[in-house]
Structure 1
Amino acid sequence: MPLESMPLASGYLKSTLLADAEISTRVDVSIHNFRGGTTNTVMANALFSGDPPDVLSFSVLGWNYQSFGALAATFKQLNPNGLVIFGGTHVTNQAARVFRMFPEVDVVVNGEGELTFRELVRARLAGADKNDLGSVAGISFRGTDGRTVTTQERPRINDLEEIPSPFLTGALELTDANGEFRYDVALMETNRGCPYKCAFCYWGGAVGQKVRAFSMDRLRRELEMFAKLKVHTVVACDANFGLLPGDLDFVEALIETRDTYGFPRALETSWAKNKSKTFFKIVRRMKEAGMHSSFTLALQTLSDNALETMNRRNMKVNEWEDLAAWLDNEGLDCYAELIWGAPGETVESFMEGYDRLARRVSRIAVYPILLLPNTDYMEKKELFGITATRGDHDDFEYVLAHDTMTFAENQHMQRFLFWARVVAENAVFRYIWGSLRHFAGLTQSRVLLNLGDWIAEADDPAAVPLREFMATAAGGTDSFGAAISYFYTEAEAERLLRRWWDESILPLVPAEFRPLLDEIFRFDLLTQPVFRPGNAASLPEALPVTEIRDEKYYVRKDVHLAYDVPAIVGALRRDVEPDLSPSPRVLDLYYRTGSESAVTSTNHEIVIHFMGMTKEQILANANANANANANANANADSDADAGPAAGAAAGEQLGERLPLADGDAPDPQPPSSHSPLTIHLLPPDKGRCA
C-alpha cells in the first residue's frame, strides 16, 4: 500500500521500555516498519546496516512468520550473542515448533508482551544468559541442555494504565517528512479481552476472558492528538466494540473531538457480536452526529450445524435479520462476515445462507476457514476429518476438505469466494444487487457465479489478468488485492464489465426494466473511487479538485441520470416500492482524493469512504452540527496558513501541551505486515538515546 500501516504492537513495547527509569537511559530502541511485500533482503539491509542491534524483537503473525525466521538467521550471523525474541498470537504456546524451525530464535513470549518484554530487557541488561531466563514469567526458552523451558504463566494485565500510550509519549512517529499523518488509519484500543470462545479464533490470546478497559481520559487525549493531525478514520482494535457501556462514552468523546477540530470523521471497528442496548444507543448517536461507520454483522455462518462446531450456537448474534432490516431502513452502511468451509457447513447450506444474508446486506466479507494456533479447530482436526495444507507465503493452514466438504466442492467454492470478495465485499458494485433481485429475480450468488463463468470463457484480453488472479488466489497470495486494484484502476476493466453486463446479465432482465437497471449499473461505475497515481494523465478525464471542510475531493460535474437512481435504490433498501417513472436528474459527484492506499489493498472498510457522493452527503457525514461546523472551520482557518508543516508542528508540540499518559495497550492483531523492533544496549555514560 502507498501508506504505511501503524505498528501499534511495536509502539506499545517501545513506550513500555522508555517509561522505565531503570531501562530508558540504557537502551536505544528503534521500530522498523516495513510494508507488506517487502523482501527479506531489503529488510535485512535496513535492519543491520551499521552496528547490528543487541536485541531483535518481532511481533509475529502467520503472514510474517517465515520472513522473520529468515531475518533471525541473518541477525545471528552478524551478532551471534544477540537476543532474538518472538511474540504474538501465532507463536504463543508454540515454542517447540518455533525453536525446531528457527533455532536462531532465543525466546518466545506467551501472551501479552509488554511487561514480559520489559523484564526480558531488564534481565539482558543485568547480564542474564539467554539459556537462564527462568525468573521471567510468561516465556519459553531453551535451557542449557537444549530442551524447551516454559516459565509460569503471566497473569493478564488488569490495570491497562500500566502500559504507556505510544502516541502521547512519542514512541510512535505519527507524521511523515511533510508533516502529514503517515498511516492509512489511526489504530486504537479502548479495551482488551473477549468473553467468547469461537472455535476458529484466538483473539490476542484473550478469548474467554474478562474485558478490561482503558481510561477515558487517555483515550480522549489520544483522539485529540489524531484530530490535530487531521486523521480521517479511527479504527478501534477491540474484539466487541459496543459491548461495554464505556464504548458509548468513547463515541461521545470521538464526536466531541470531531466537533471541536473537524476530525476524525469515521470510526471502524469489530462490532459486538451480540447487539445490546449500548450498541443501539451508539448507532443512533453516530447517525444523529453524522459520524460514519460500517456496522458489522459478524455472523460467520447461518448453518445450525456449523454454528455448533464453532461454539456459537447459543449466541444472540444469530438473531440478525431484524437488526439488518433496522440498519437498512435507517440508511446506515452495513456489512457482514461469513466463513466458508467450517466443519458442519455444506455448499448448499452456505449458498442458501449467503443469499439470505444478501437480501439485507450486499457487502459480505467471505473468508476461507484457516486453522490458527491455539484454536479449537486446530486441536480437533481429526474429530472433524480436516485435511489442510500450509500456505506457500505464510504459516496458516488452509482447509482443503473435511467430513461435510469434499475437496472438489472446496475448489468450486474457492472460485465463488474470489468473485464474492473482489466484486461484492470490496464494493466494485453496490447498487445492482438489490435491483437485480427485485426486478429480475437474480440472487447475488447467481450474479457472481455468472460473472465468474463469463470471465473464464471471455475472448477478451482484459479478462486474462483476472483469470490469472483467480487461479492463484486460494494460496494466500496478493491476488485479491491485485484484482480489486485492476477493477478500480484500469479503463479496460470497466469496458470488460460493460461487455459482461450487456451480454450476460441484461438478457436475463425483463425488457421493461432494462433501461432502469442499465442506469443503476452505470451509476455503480460512476461512484467508484477516483484513482490517480503519480501520473495525472492516467485519469480518463480531467477532474477538478475542490476542498470541503479541510479535505480535498475530485469533482465530476453535471452527471445526467435518466432516473433518480439514489431515490430508487434507497426505496428498495427500505422495502418500499419505488417510483419508476423516468425522472431525469443532474448532480455533481465528489470523491475523496488519496484513494490509492484503499484501492490497492483489500480493506473494504476503508475503500467505502472514497466512493462518489453528493456534497450534501459529505456535509452530513462530516458533521451534523452547525455549531461544530463553525468550530471546525475556525480551527482549520487558524492552521491553514501554516502550510504542510502545520501538522508536524502540532504533533511536536503535543508533548508540551498534553501531560504524558501512563497507560495503553497493544493491538491483539498487529496490523503491519513487518514491524521488527531493535534494541542497542548503551554504555552507562551514553545517556538516553532518542
Structure 2
Amino acid sequence: MPLESMPLASGYLKATALADDRIRAATEISIHNFRGGTTNATMANALFAGAPPDVLAFSVLGWNYHAFGALAATFKQLNPQGWVVFGGTHVAQQAARVFRMFPEVDVVVNGEGEITFRELLRARLDGADRRELHAVAGLSFQGPDGRPVVTQGRDRIEDLEVIPSPFLTGALDLTDDQGAFRYDVALMETNRGCPYKCAFCYWGGAIGQKVRAFSLDRLRRELEVFARLKVHTVVACDANFGLLPGDADFVDALIETRDRFGFPRALETSWAKNKSKTFYRIVKRMKDAGMRSSFTLALQTLSDNALESMNRRNMKVNEWEDLAAWLDNEGLDCYAELIWGAPGETVDSFMEGYDRLSRRVSRIAVYPILLLPNTDYMEKKDLFGIRAVRGDHDDFEYVLAHDTMTFAENQRMQRFLFWARVVAENAVLRHSWAALRRLAGLTQSHVLRDLESWIARVDDPAAVPLREHAATAAGGTGAFGAAISYLYTEPEAVRLLTRWWRESLRPQVPEEAAPVLDEVFRYDLLTMPVYRPQNGPAKDEELPVEVVRGQSYYVRRDVELAYDVPALIRTIRADGEPDLSPSPRTLDLYYRTGSESAVTSTNHEIVVHFMGTPRDEMPAAAPGPGGPS
C-alpha cells in the first residue's frame, strides 16, 4: 500500500508503558510498523541494526505468526538474554503450541496487553528472571524446564481511561516527513468488548464480554487531532457500533468536529448486528449532516441450521429486509456480510440466501470460514465433522469439508466466492446489479457465474491474469487483491468487461431494456476510482483537479449520458417505477484524489469513497475552515 496501516495496538502498549515514570526514564520504546509483503530479512535488518533491543514484543495474528517466530529466533542469536513477548488474540491461551513451535518466545500475553506489558517491563527493570515471572498476572511463560507456566488471570480493564491515548500523548507518529497524515485511515476505539458468543469469532472471546467505553471528552480530543491533520476517514474499531447510546454521542462529536474543521468526512465501523433506536438515530443524523459511511448488515448466514451452529440469532427476516429497504430509500450505502462454509450451511441454502440478500444489498462481502484459536468452532471440530488444513503462509485453518459440505461442493463455491468478492463486494458494478435484477430479471449470482464462465473460455489476453488469479481460489486463499487491483487499474480490464457485457450478458436482457442497461453499465465503468500511481502509466486520461470544501477531486467534465442514470438508480432503489424513455443528461463527475492506497489495499469499505460522483450527490457542505470552496 502507498500508505501505512495504523499500528493502533502498538500505540496503546507504548503509551501505557511510558505513562510509568520509571519506565519512561529508563527505557526507549520504538514501534516498527512493517507493510504486508516485507521479507523477514528486511525486517531483521531494520530491527537489529546496531545494538539489538532488550525486549522484542510482537502483536501477533494469523498472517504474521510464522514471520514473527522467525524474527524471534534471529533475535535470540543476537541477544540470548533478551526477552521475546508475543501478544494478540491468535496466541492468547495458546502458549503450549507457541513455545513448542518457537522455543525462542519467552512470554505469551493472555488477554488485554497494556497493563500486563507495563508490568513485564517493570519486572525486566527489577532484574527478574524470564523463567520466574509468577508475579505478573495475565501471561504464560516458559518455566525452567521449558514447560508453560500460566500466571493468575488478569481482569479486563474496567476503566479504559487508565490507557493513555496514543494520539494525545504522541506515542504514535501520525505524520510523514512532509507533515501529512501518514496512514490510510485513522483507527479509533470508542469501546471494548462484545456481548455475543459467535462460534466463529474471537471478538467476544467466545464467552461474551461486558462492553466498556472510553470517555466522550477523550474521543472529542482525539477527533480534533485527526481533523487538524485533514484525515478523511475514521474507522471505529468496535465490535458493535450503534449498540450503545454513547455511540450516538460520538457521532454528534464527529459531525461537530467536521463542522469546525472540515474533517473527518466519513466513518466506517462494524455496525451492531441488531439495529436499535440508537442505530436509526445515528443513521438519520449522519445522513442529514452529509457524513458518509457504509452501513453493514452483518448477517453471516440466512440459514437457520447454520445460525444454530454459530450460537447466533439474526434479526427476523422481515426486519432486516425492512432495514435494507429503508436504507435504500434514504439513498444510503449499505453492504452485507456472509460467511460461506459454516456447519449447517449447504450450497443450496447459501445461494438462496445470497440472492435473497442481493435483492436489497448488492455489495455483499462473502468470506470463507476460517478456524481461529479460542473460538467455539475450533474447540468443536469433531462435533461438526470439520476437516481443515492450515495455511501455507499464515496460521489459520481453512475449512475444507464438514457434515453438510463436501470437498467438491466447497471447491466449486470457492470459485464463486472469488468472483463475488472481486466484482460485487468491491463495487466494480455497483449500480448494474439493481438495474439488471429489476429490468432483466437476472439475479446477482447468475451474472457472477456468467462472468466466471465467460472469462474461463474467452480467447483474450486481458482475461489471462484473471484466469490465473481465479485458479488460486479453490484453496480459499485466492489472489483476490491482485484481481481487484487489475480491474481497477488496468485499461485492458475495462475493455474486457465491456466485451463480456456485449457478447455474453446483453443477449440475455429484454431488448426494450438493453439501451438503458448499457448506459448503467457504462456509468459504472465511468465512475471507477481515478488511479494515479507514483510510478508507471496512469489508467485514466489527465483530468483537472478542483478543491471542494478542502478536499481535492479529479473532475471529468461534460459527461454525456443518454439516460439520467443517477435518477434511474435512485428510483429503482426506492422501489419506484423507472421510466425507460431516453432522458439525456450532461454532468460533471468528481473523484476524490488519492485512491491508490484504497485500490491496492482492496478495502471495499474505503474504495467506495473514491468512486466518481455527480456534484449534487457529494457530501453536504460543512461550515468553518472546511466550508464551501
TM-score range, shorter chain: over 0.9
1:550 corresponding residue in structure 2: 550
The letter of the residue matching 2:584 is P
What are the Cα deviations for residues 621-648 of structure 1, in whole angstroms up to 9, with x where unaligned? 143xxxx4245349x9xxxxxxxxxxxx
1:57 corresponding residue in structure 2: 57
Contact kept? 1:334, 1:363, Cα under 8 Å: yes
What are the Cα deviations for residues 597-638 of structure 1, in whole angstroms up to 9, with x where unaligned? 1111221000000000012222xx143xxxx4245349x9xx
Counterpart check, 1:362 vs 2:377 = no
Correspondences of 1:494-643 after superposition (within 5 Å): 494-535=494-535, 537-618=537-618, 621-623=619-621, 628-633=622-627
User: For the residues of structure 2 that align with 1:434 and 1:465, how far apart are their CA atoms?
Assistant: 28
1:339 corresponding residue in structure 2: 339
Secondary structure of the residue aligned to 1:566 is helix
Secondary structure of the residue aligned to 1:512 is coil
Q: CA deviation at 1:205?
A: 3.5
2:76 corresponding residue in structure 1: 76
In structure 2, the CA distance between the partners of 1:234 and 1:74, relative to structure 1 (3 Å rule), is same
User: For the residues of structure 2 that align with 1:236 and 1:630, how far apart are their CA atoms?
Assistant: 24
Correspondences of 1:10-159 after superposition (within 5 Å): 10-159=10-159
Contact kept? 2:545, 2:554, Cα under 8 Å: yes
1:661 corresponding residue in structure 2: none
User: For the residues of structure 2 that align with 1:601 and 1:221, how far apart are their CA atoms?
Assistant: 29
In structure 2, the CA distance between the partners of 1:539 and 1:147, relative to structure 1 (3 Å rule), is closer
In structure 2, the CA distance between the partners of 1:573 and 1:314, relative to structure 1 (3 Å rule), is closer
The letter of the residue matching 2:246 is G
User: For the residues of structure 2 that align with 1:12 and 1:540, how far apart are their CA atoms?
Assistant: 41
Q: CA deviation at 1:152?
A: 1.1
Correspondences of 1:281-360 after superposition (within 5 Å): 281-313=281-313, 319-360=319-360
User: For the residues of structure 2 that align with 1:145 and 1:72, how far apart are their CA atoms?
Assistant: 20
What are the Cα deviations for residues 578-608 of structure 1, in whole angstroms up to 9, with x where unaligned? 1111011000001011000111122100000
Secondary structure of the residue aligned to 1:161 is helix
In structure 2, the CA distance between the partners of 1:146 and 1:540, relative to structure 1 (3 Å rule), is closer
2:422 corresponding residue in structure 1: 422
Q: CA deviation at 1:498?
A: 0.6
Q: CA deviation at 1:146?
A: 1.8
1:456 corresponding residue in structure 2: 456
In structure 2, the CA distance between the partners of 1:204 and 1:474, relative to structure 1 (3 Å rule), is farther
In structure 2, the CA distance between the partners of 1:9 and 1:454, relative to structure 1 (3 Å rule), is same
Contact kept? 2:196, 2:208, Cα under 8 Å: yes
Secondary structure of the residue aligned to 1:231 is coil
Identity %, equivalent residues: 78
Contact kept? 1:193, 1:206, Cα under 8 Å: no
The letter of the residue matching 1:383 is L
Tell me the C-alpha RMSD between the 2 structures.
1.4
TM-score by length of 2: 0.98
1:650 corresponding residue in structure 2: none
What are the Cα deviations for residues 156-201 of structure 1, in whole angstroms up to 9, with x where unaligned? 0000001000000000000000110000000000000000000000
For structure 2, which runs of at least 5 residues remain unmatched after alignment? none
User: For the residues of structure 2 that align with 1:539 and 1:65, how far apart are their CA atoms?
Assistant: 36
Counterpart check, 1:195 vs 2:195 = yes
2:232 corresponding residue in structure 1: 232
1:184 corresponding residue in structure 2: 184
1:403 corresponding residue in structure 2: 403
Counterpart check, 1:266 vs 2:260 = no
What are the Cα deviations for residues 340-372 of structure 1, in whole angstroms up to 9, with x where unaligned? 000000000000000000000000000000000
User: For the residues of structure 2 that align with 1:298 and 1:199, how far apart are their CA atoms?
Assistant: 14
In structure 2, the CA distance between the partners of 1:119 and 1:316, relative to structure 1 (3 Å rule), is farther
In structure 2, the CA distance between the partners of 1:317 and 1:58, relative to structure 1 (3 Å rule), is farther
User: For the residues of structure 1 that align with 2:253 and 2:57, how far apart are their CA atoms?
Assistant: 35
1:391 corresponding residue in structure 2: 391
Secondary structure of the residue aligned to 1:28 is coil
User: For the residues of structure 2 that align with 1:165 and 1:318, how far apart are their CA atoms?
Assistant: 42
Q: CA deviation at 1:540?
A: 3.8
In structure 2, the CA distance between the partners of 1:450 and 1:380, relative to structure 1 (3 Å rule), is same
Contact kept? 1:391, 1:475, Cα under 8 Å: no
1:683 corresponding residue in structure 2: none
The letter of the residue matching 2:102 is F
2:218 corresponding residue in structure 1: 218
Correspondences of 1:659-678 after superposition (within 5 Å): none
Aligned residues: 629
Contact kept? 1:111, 1:205, Cα under 8 Å: no
Contact kept? 2:193, 2:211, Cα under 8 Å: yes
Q: CA deviation at 1:549?
A: 1.2
2:162 corresponding residue in structure 1: 162
Contact kept? 1:73, 1:104, Cα under 8 Å: yes
Contact kept? 1:89, 1:111, Cα under 8 Å: yes
User: For the residues of structure 1 that align with 2:615 and 2:92, how far apart are their CA atoms?
Assistant: 49
Secondary structure of the residue aligned to 1:364 is strand
In structure 2, the CA distance between the partners of 1:204 and 1:39, relative to structure 1 (3 Å rule), is farther
User: For the residues of structure 2 that align with 1:42 and 1:326, how far apart are their CA atoms?
Assistant: 50
Q: CA deviation at 1:539?
A: 3.6
What are the Cα deviations for residues 355-397 of structure 1, in whole angstroms up to 9, with x where unaligned? 0000000000000000000100001100000000001110000
The letter of the residue matching 1:262 is G
Contact kept? 2:199, 2:206, Cα under 8 Å: no
User: For the residues of structure 2 that align with 1:563 and 1:277, how far apart are their CA atoms?
Assistant: 38
User: For the residues of structure 1 that align with 2:230 and 2:279, how far apart are their CA atoms?
Assistant: 27
Secondary structure of the residue aligned to 2:62 is coil
Q: CA deviation at 1:445?
A: 0.2
User: For the residues of structure 2 that align with 1:600 and 1:631, how far apart are their CA atoms?
Assistant: 31
User: For the residues of structure 1 that align with 2:513 and 2:39, how far apart are their CA atoms?
Assistant: 52
1:644 corresponding residue in structure 2: none
Secondary structure of the residue aligned to 1:320 is helix
Q: CA deviation at 1:475?
A: 4.4
The letter of the residue matching 1:112 is E
User: For the residues of structure 1 that align with 2:225 and 2:314, how far apart are their CA atoms?
Assistant: 41
Q: CA deviation at 1:314?
A: 6.2
1:679 corresponding residue in structure 2: none
The letter of the residue matching 1:83 is W
Q: In terms of mean alpha carbon deviation, does 27-36 or 140-149 score higher? A: 140-149
1:382 corresponding residue in structure 2: 382
User: For the residues of structure 2 that align with 1:288 and 1:314, how far apart are their CA atoms?
Assistant: 28
In structure 2, the CA distance between the partners of 1:540 and 1:274, relative to structure 1 (3 Å rule), is closer
User: For the residues of structure 2 that align with 1:36 and 1:631, how far apart are their CA atoms?
Assistant: 36
Q: CA deviation at 1:538?
A: 2.3
User: For the residues of structure 1 that align with 2:34 and 2:584, how far apart are their CA atoms?
Assistant: 50
Contact kept? 2:196, 2:204, Cα under 8 Å: no
User: For the residues of structure 2 that align with 1:171 and 1:409, how far apart are their CA atoms?
Assistant: 49
User: For the residues of structure 1 that align with 2:603 and 2:359, how far apart are their CA atoms?
Assistant: 23
In structure 2, the CA distance between the partners of 1:204 and 1:105, relative to structure 1 (3 Å rule), is farther
Q: CA deviation at 1:33?
A: 0.3
Contact kept? 2:188, 2:237, Cα under 8 Å: yes
User: For the residues of structure 2 that align with 1:88 and 1:330, how far apart are their CA atoms?
Assistant: 40
The letter of the residue matching 2:34 is F
1:680 corresponding residue in structure 2: none
Contact kept? 1:306, 1:345, Cα under 8 Å: yes
Secondary structure of the residue aligned to 2:366 is strand
Secondary structure of the residue aligned to 1:81 is coil
